[in-house]
């Protein structure tokens, strides 16, 4: 029988150095990278996701997005998501995980677990503030523009489609521009667009807190279409808000940087998968396989059979 492998996944754990057994809730299998944040001289581990400030003062987006909106949207809504996330995560298996990891795990293929809403909303809002800048809008250039024109026909068509997605996300949610690298087997979610088209820009909309990380896309741009995002400035006029966002607020530099990162990571993944596929083909044992297999190999080659 196979001995236990080196990859042990445990769903509960003790922290021997503190002599504490913390109450834990079981969550689906987690990837091995974990960061623990411990407060010095304290017997309590506290989760510490922080509320990051937008990369501009709260009045910097006026007159397109008022200071009052930023004060509430960032200062109350976003802050509350972060605070509630910290309270929810402390003492559970999720503690110490990166925000992205919590999102993927608690999305749970759509059967969402309690911490998902706060984690995803915390991430979404960070991403949203960074998607905007004072004096934003205009047009992208370079690779990003080329890709937009390739995948949507023209920049104008892209704008139309993005605005339509944002306007037709019924109820609360988000509209996204994302980079989709062809990856159908997604560990913890169901890819809604399984297609042969390889590596392209897509526009998607999502309800409530859902974001494209759960479909293993690379988000590039987002607009928040929860009513709290625009009600003080535009009341019911969501289409006006969307137009102003596109024309005056989008930070195409940020979108571009995100695209470059996404392309790089997609290329890395491809290389990694290529390597793994080659290894499987050549029948080379990977690090996780048993020593028994190696011995079988050796027997065959050396003719040192004991059975004779």
Which spans of this chain sit near other proteins (rule: CB under 8 A)? 72, 76-77, 80, 117, 170-173, 207-209, 226-228, 231-232, 235-236
Q: Which residue has the tokens 């009341």?
A: 235
Contacts of 225 (CB under 8 A, 6+ apart): 166, 167, 169, 172, 173, 174, 175, 238, 242
With respect to other proteins, which residue has the nearer C-beta, 73 or 163?
A: 73
Q: How far is the CB of 233 from other proteins (least distance, A)?
A: 11
With respect to other proteins, which residue has the nearer C-beta, 108 or 208?
A: 208
- In three-state secondary structure terms, 66 is coil
Q: How far is the CB of 235 from other proteins (least distance, A)?
A: 6
With respect to other proteins, which residue has the nearer C-beta, 56 or 72?
A: 72
Q: How far is the CB of 113 from other proteins (least distance, A)?
A: 13
CA-nearest of 123, 119, 128 to 54 is 128
Q: How far is the CB of 73 from other proteins (least distance, A)?
A: 9
Do 121 and 73 contact (CB within 8 A), yes or no?
A: no
Q: How far is the CB of 108 from other proteins (least distance, A)?
A: 15
With respect to other proteins, which residue has the nearer C-beta, 120 or 244?
A: 120
Query: d(Cα 23, Cα 18) in Å, to the nearest integer?
Result: 14
Classify residue 161 by burial, with Cβ atoms within 10 Å: 0-12, 13-18, 19+: middle
With respect to other proteins, which residue has the nearer C-beta, 170 or 196?
A: 170
With respect to other proteins, which residue has the nearer C-beta, 59 or 256?
A: 59
Q: How far is the CB of 87 from other proteins (least distance, A)?
A: 14
Q: How far is the CB of 287 from other proteins (least distance, A)?
A: 42
Tokens of 64: 């397109």
Tokens of 119: 């984690």
Contacts of 233 (CB under 8 A, 6+ apart): 65, 66, 69, 241
Give the containing element (helix H, strand E) for 266.
Answer: helix 252-281
Cα dihedral 188/194/196/202 (nearest 10) = -100
With respect to other proteins, which residue has the nearer C-beta, 21 or 237?
A: 237
Kindly provide the residue ranges of all beta strands, DSSP E only, lying in the chain, ordered along the sequence. 173-180, 200-207, 218-224
With respect to other proteins, which residue has the nearer C-beta, 96 or 173?
A: 173
Q: How far is the CB of 71 from other proteins (least distance, A)?
A: 10
Strand order in the sheet with 218-224: 200-207, 173-180, 218-224
């Amino acid at each position: 029988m196979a001995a236990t492998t080196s990859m042990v996944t445990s769903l509960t754990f003790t922290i021997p150095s503190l002599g504490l057994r913390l109450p834990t809730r079981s969550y689906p299998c987690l990837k091995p990278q974990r960061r623990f944040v411990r407060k010095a001289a304290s017997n309590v581990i506290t989760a510490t996701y922080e509320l990051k400030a937008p990369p501009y003062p709260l009045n910097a987006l006026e007159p397109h997005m008022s200071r009052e909106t930023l004060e509430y949207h960032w200062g109350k809504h976003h802050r509350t998501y972060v605070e509630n996330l910290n309270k929810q995560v402390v003492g559970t298996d999720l503690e110490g995980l990166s925000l992205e990891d919590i999102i993927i795990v608690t999305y749970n293929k759509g059967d969402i677990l309690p911490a998902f809403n706060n984690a995803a909303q915390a991430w979404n809002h960070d991403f949203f503030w960074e998607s905007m800048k004072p004096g934003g809008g205009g047009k992208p250039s370079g690779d990003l523009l080329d890709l937009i024109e390739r995948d949507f026909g023209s920049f104008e068509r892209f704008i139309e489609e993005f605005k339509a997605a944002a306007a037709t996300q019924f109820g609360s949610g988000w509209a996204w521009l994302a980079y989709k690298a062809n990856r159908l087997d997604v560990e913890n979610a169901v890819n809604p667009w399984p297609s042969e088209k390889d590596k392209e820009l897509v526009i998607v909309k999502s309800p409530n807190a859902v974001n494209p990380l759960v479909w293993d896309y690379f988000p590039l741009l987002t607009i928040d279409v929860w009513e709290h995002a625009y009600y003080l400035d535009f009341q019911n006029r969501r289409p006006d808000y969307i137009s102003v966002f596109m024309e005056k607020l989008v930070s195409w530099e940020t979108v571009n940087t995100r695209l470059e990162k996404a392309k790089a990571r997609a290329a890395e993944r491809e290389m990694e998968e290529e390597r793994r596929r080659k290894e499987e083909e050549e029948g080379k044992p990977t690090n996780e396989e048993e020593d028994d297999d190696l011995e079988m190999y050796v027997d065959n080659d050396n003719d040192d059979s004991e059975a004779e």
